């Protein structure tokens, strides 16, 4: 779950930089007033930490980022298998 939240924050940061580059509009600062606002700075720090986390997880998992942890289904015992 933490990886999914980190991925969403990283995407939000990427979209913010796209808007800064293309439209000269800072979305995060637009929501909270200015870039110097405490809440804007907290969001910037959270996005940076999330990006570093995603980078480290991707490096240690050899390029595979797994966002959802799917559990394997338990195999049925031979006695429980129904034959038709």
Select the more confidently predicted residue: 20 or 72. Answer: 20
What is residue 83's predicted lDDT score, i.e. its pLDDT?
54
Pair 54, 3: CB distance under 8 Å? yes
Tokens 């570093």 sit at which residue? 52
- CA 7, 65, 19, 38 torsion-angle sign: positive
Alpha-carbon torsion angle 24, 30, 35, 36, nearest 10: 150
pLDDT band at 73 (very low <50, low <70, confident <90, very high): low
Cα–Cα distance, 51 to 6 (Å, whole number): 7
Token pair listed for 78: 């031979």
Task: For 3-62, write each residue's pLDDT tens digit.
Answer: 889 989 999 999 999 999 999 999 999 988 888 889 999 999 999 999 998 888 888 888
């Amino acid at each position: 779950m933490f990886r999914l939240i980190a991925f969403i924050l990283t995407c939000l940061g990427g979209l913010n930089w796209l808007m800064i580059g293309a439209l000269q509009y800072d979305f995060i600062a637009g929501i909270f007033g200015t870039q110097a606002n405490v809440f804007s700075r907290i969001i910037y720090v959270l996005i940076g930490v999330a990006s570093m986390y995603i980078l480290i997880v991707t490096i240690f998992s050899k390029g595979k980022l797994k966002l959802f942890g799917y559990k394997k289904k338990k195999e049925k015992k031979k006695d429980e298998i129904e034959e038709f």
